[in-house]
Amino acid sequence: MKRNYVIVTGGVLSGVGKGILSASIARLMKEYGFRVNTLKIDPYLNIDAGTMNPNQHGEVFVTEDGYEADLDLGHYERFLGVDMRRHNNLTAGQIYKSVIDKEREGKYLGSTVQIVPHVTDEIKQKISDLDGELIIIEIGGTVGDIEGEVFLEAVREMTLENDKENFLFVHVTYAPHLEVTDEFKTKPTQQSVQLLRRIGIQPDMIVVRSQFPVEEQDIEKIALFGGVPRSMVFNFPDIENVYEAPAILHSFDVHHKIASRLNMKTDGQFNWEYPRAFASKKVALIGKYLGTGDSYKSIIESVVLCGTEKPEILDSQSLEGLSPKELDLILKEYEALIIPGGFGKRGIEGKLAAIRYAREKNVPVLGICLGMQLMIIEFARNVQNLAQADSTEFHFDTPYPVVDIMEDQKKLLNMGGTMRLGAQKAKVFRETSLFSIYETDEIWERHRHRFEVNRELARPFLCYPGQDCSGRLTVCAEEDFIEAIELQGHRFFIGVQFHPEFKSKVGLPHPLFRALLDA
């Protein structure tokens, strides 16, 4: 079968939206009848994003099959409406590890193991293993990065070993605007194209990102110096709503241009329903990873995909040590709270204060993963008067470890690490809010955690539907572990041990967010 590739590279700056563009191209081509697959290449040496600090790198996105990926896989899922898997992400760490493992196993039969051909061969093999007739490959970082070179070399070799006609290179750059002279600068774009050419890759299409529209004469200059026809250079100024991106590419006729360059025939229509107007509801996300705006990406997008303005991220540490009055002054601005996942002790007391506030003031609150564990701790401390109740994650010797790593549950931890990762089944109990939200009693949701509700210690304040639940938290879902709890009689007080945010898609936001916003 003939297979085609769209390869997306970046120049000038990182963070100009290659991920959104790649996802948008993928969706557009899918709408026009192609069997599309996507691959994000991350040139870093980590095996996966699981060990990376969200403060620097943004959210770790978890796939159904329990892979801890770069957040771009989240864009792909949301835009394409298709679940990603571990093979949709490739890191330099994985490639080198596999080459070195093979070397130790003697698989190279005595040869000197080198970047070319052994590492490049490994990359090409991984790319060929993907399924699909049109593969969109996004190469992370910018052209000129040392780590990225080997990947560019591998795709360059692929164009030689296959028909060059089957490859289309999209180079995404940035044109900075100089305030003083009020002009856009195209030189960085020209130079990044030159860098790409030096590696042996001539872009077929250039997407010039900018703060606002660039003048036609500058686009012509980029086309001329970039060696790309004017019709294949697009200016893509900043947009407020990223979900417009596929529609904008569509208006540029990018689908026809890609298809005709790759000798493919488009067949289909562009169906792209995305939220265009956003209800102004004040939602606060009580976070602690504030280093980049991307640490809570999937949660923010889940809210946005419900047609609601982005939640505001509050620093949980700034809520610590406040009097109830001071806390009230800050939180009364918001109509709902989200307590997201996280690791480690920092900022925990602020999150607990916010949960207490929401519980006592009847403010809708959704606790996710760590958020649910903290709902349990808050309830134990402030309703059950177990002042020392805690998670062993924060206080190893606590006399009341209501959240703990359970000995008999350790054997259930999978994926070789110590974290429970990926999609897990749970039974949802009828007569709970969760059941009315899901309208089903069996759910599969994605997990990423080590600690659990300690059933034994929490027993006195947990109850099951059908029992008298006043003054207790109701278990809404469980399987091997307690997976969701709620406080009956409250407007919306739900905690889930899993991450619903990873399952939201365009046109299909996760029902838990919808329910929170409705409340």
Contacts of 419 (CB under 8 A, 6+ apart): 50, 413, 448, 449, 450
| Interface with ligand GLN in residues 335-354 (CB under 6 A) | 341-343
Minimum CB separation of residue 299 from ligand GLN in Å reads: 11
The answer to whether 255 is a known catalytic residue is: no
List 204, 393, 445, 483, residue binding ligand GLN (CB under 6 A): 393
Cβ proximity to ligand GLN: between 265 and 411 the closer is 411
Binding segment (CB under 6 A) for ligand GLN, from list 89-97, 121-129, 320-328, 449-457: 449-457
Q: Quick one: 43 or 54, whose CB is closer to ligand GLN?
A: 54
Biggest CA–CA distance in the chain, Å, is 75
CB contact burial 235-247 (16+ within 10 A = b; e otherwise): bbeeeeebbebbb
Decide: is 255 part of the binding site for ligand GLN (CB under 6 A).
no
495 touches ligand GLN (CB under 6 A): no
Identify the residue among 61, 167, 451, 493 touching ligand GLN (CB under 6 A): 451
φ/ψ region of 439 (left if φ > 0, alpha if ψ in -120 to 50, else beta) reads left
3-class secondary-structure state, position 199: coil
- Is residue 289 involved in binding ligand GLN (CB under 6 A)? no
Give catalytic status of residue 306 as yes or no. Answer: no
Buried b (16+ CB within 10 A) or exposed e, 126-141: bbeebebebbbbbbbb
Q: State the DSSP H helix or E strand holding residue 323, giving kind and residue range, or none if neither.
A: none
Structure tokens at 382: 């402030």
Residue nearest to ligand GLN (CB): 341
Catalytic hit among 68, 77, 445, 501? 501
- Confirm or reject binding of residue 25 to ligand GLN (CB under 6 A): no
Exposed, middle or buried: residue 56 (CB in 10 Å: 0-12, 13-18, 19+)?
exposed
- Measured CA to CA, the distance from residue 155 to residue 115 in angstroms comes to 14
Q: How many residues sit close enough to ligand GLN to count as binding (CB under 6 A)?
A: 10
Of residues 78, 359, 448, 510, which one binds ligand GLN by CB under 6 A? 448
Q: How far apart are CA 398 and CA 389, in angstroms?
A: 7
Tell me the window of 159-167, 213-221, 380-388, 442-450 that interacts with ligand GLN (CB under 6 A): 442-450
- Active site annotation includes 499: yes
User: Which two three-digit tokens encode residue 388?
Assistant: 């020392």
- Distances from the Cα of 222 to the Cα of 184, 209, 231, angstroms: 11, 12, 12
CA distances from 290 to 329, 333, 493 (A): 22, 20, 25
413 binds ligand GLN (CB under 6 A): no
CB nearer to ligand GLN: pick between 234 and 498: 498
Determine, following the binding rule CB under 6 A, whether residue 394 of this chain makes contact with ligand GLN: no
Single out the residue of 87, 177, 185, 450 in contact with ligand GLN (rule: CB under 6 A): 450
DSSP string, 344-382: SSTTHHHHHHHHHHHHHHT--EEEETHHHHHHHHHHHHH
User: Pattern of binders to ligand GLN over 361-380, x per CB under 6 A?
Assistant: --------xx----------
Give the active site residue among 306, 369, 469, 476. Answer: 369
List the catalytic residues.
369, 499, 501
The residues that touch ligand GLN, with contacts defined as CB under 6 A, are 341-343, 369-370, 393, 448-451
